[in-house]
Amino acid sequence: MNKPSAIVIGSGFAGLSAATTLADKGYDVTVLEKNEQAGGRARKFSSHGFTYDMGPSWYWMPDVFEDYFGRFGKKVSDYYELERLDPSYRVYFKDGPEDLPADPEALYAMFDSIEPGSGAKLKQFLDEAAYKYEVGIKELVYKPGRSIMEFADMRVLKGLVQMHLLTSMKAYIRKSFSSPKLIQLLEFPILFLGAMPKNTPALYSLMNYADMALGTWYPKGGMHKIVEGMVSLAEEKGVKFVYNSEVLRCHYEGNSISEVVTISSNYKADVIVAAGDYHHMEQRVLRRESRAYSEKYWDSRKLAPSSLLYYLGLDRKVEGLLHHNLFFDSDFDVHSKAIYEDPHWPEDPLFYVSAPSLTDSTVAPEGSENMFILIPVAPDMKETEEIQEKYFQIVMDRLKSHTGIDYRDHVVFRRDYAYSDFVNDYHAFKGNAYGLANTLSQTAILKPKMKSPKVPNLYYTGQLTTPGPGVPPSLISGQVVAQEIEKDQLKRTA
């Protein structure tokens, strides 16, 4: 009997996860990747002796990665070495920096030093967040979002009540904390979920548990080591990769896709998994009658932010920075509104700086430093060279004011990355960097469906469908779609 076959379009975390899981279930899997290497937004590049992770730089929820590799009888340590960062990261406020210690007792003491009595409140806050994490990450995110009956289990129903789904993060945090600093620290992890704290369910305090309790880690060699490990495992399972192979259109037999057409060849398969941009597949690759959603629907979706990025190589070591650094020395609410409520280029932006070579000497030449700067901006904000230069000067001025060093004098390599790059490289809808916002009206069954309602053998995975944005959710998304494909196949053969 011939093995069932699957085409996976895209090799980001969701695509790699789906491909490997399907191969493990007995499918003959081919991954078609538009770009020259695997990883999607988690690609890497090297220049002038510097190596850069192009996308994700925070390693949170280590248990999700261990669980993924464990499903195949492997361990994370079979593929890369992890180091826990301590302090986890540094936050620059208007009056100076605060470091987030990895040790819980030190963290409580730090909160107490900013707002007396807040250490005990943080402990209670994280205890509640731990329950949300246990139910949310262990159960809810593994639901495919195909039916409301997925949530009929009594433990899940009880969990929905205890997880404050109808309370906003803004109200939930302010119930216990009044210091603007502490509020910003607790709201920071949801900044990239795509909505203001007042519109984000307090369920997502589970992100604070991931941040403060489970810790911030770093895979030696960079985040792309995760991708390399996943590709190695996929190939071990028999997955075939074809790079520089953008999917342009499909051929059909009845309502089903019989063949996908790339720039260089055609590929037949029983099942198609779209692991790239959902909107692009729907609106640009599928024929009109096969589309489940209209352009009006897509335009009504709330997206997580896009980003303006600078990859810098410095000919000196940095001072005054840690591996991860958040600059909240401007108005947090004003910048958030510029992203989510009144989209425009912010005058005085929040930004993030990563200097991974402080932890890992292999990503920069000796005596030099690798620096990555990210400014979150609203989706669909089209950059110009003037805008890129303007914001480069803004962040360099702010770095100088905090560290006393003008790093502009030491830049030996610079690459900018913005809206047009996200669109060109990933077909990212409106140039988004992080997928669909996790608002209550875009959660679980209210997200774009994982299984196409119009094309029987077409499935979707990744950050625009269930469970949502982020590396761990994308990793889970690929596993869930593979499980759904297997269940549907069993129903057909029963």
The pLDDT of residue 161 is 60
Residue 492 tokens read as: 């057909």
At 462, the pLDDT band (50, 70, 90 cuts) reads: very high
The pLDDT of residue 69 is 98
In the chain, what are the domains?
A: 5-81+223-301+436-493 (3.50.50.60), 103-213 (1.10.405), 303-426 (3.30.519)
Task: With a cut of 50, say whether residue 154 has pLDDT above it.
Answer: no
Rounded Cα gap, residues 317 and 227, in angstroms: 28
Task: With a cut of 90, say whether residue 147 has pLDDT above it.
Answer: no
Q: At a CB cut-off of 8 Å and minimum separation 6, what does 178 contact?
A: 115
Rounded Cα gap, residues 104 and 212, in angstroms: 8
Q: What is the mean pLDDT of the chain?
A: 94
Residue 235 tokens read as: 């190939």
Q: What percent of the chain has pLDDT over 70?
A: 96
User: Which contacts qualify for 421-428: CB closer than 8 Å, 24 or more apart?
Assistant: 422/306, 422/307, 425/34, 425/35, 426/34, 426/40, 426/41, 426/276, 426/277, 427/34, 427/276, 427/277, 427/279, 427/280, 427/284, 428/277, 428/306
Residue 61 tokens read as: 């929820």
Query: 91-100, 146-155, 213-222, 267-276 — which is least confidently predicted?
Result: 146-155
Span 293-308, average pLDDT: 95
Task: With a cut of 50, say whether residue 364 has pLDDT above it.
Answer: yes
Residue, of 97 and 439, whose pLDDT is higher: 97
The type of residue at 170 is K
Contact by Cβ (8 Å): 262, 246:
yes
Per-residue model confidence as pLDDT tens digits over 157-214: 555 567 777 789 999 999 999 999 999 999 988 776 667 888 888 888 999 999 999 9
Rounded Cα gap, residues 35 and 41, in angstroms: 10
The pLDDT of residue 438 is 81
Cβ-based neighbour number of residue 109 at 10 Å: 12
Reduced to 3 states (helix: H, G, I; strand: E, B; else coil), residue 302 is coil
Rounded Cα gap, residues 29 and 18, in angstroms: 10
The pLDDT of residue 86 is 98
Per-residue model confidence as pLDDT tens digits over 28-51: 999 999 999 999 999 999 999 999
Cβ-based neighbour number of residue 494 at 10 Å: 5
Rounded Cα gap, residues 407 and 371, in angstroms: 10
Q: What percent of the chain has pLDDT over 90?
A: 83
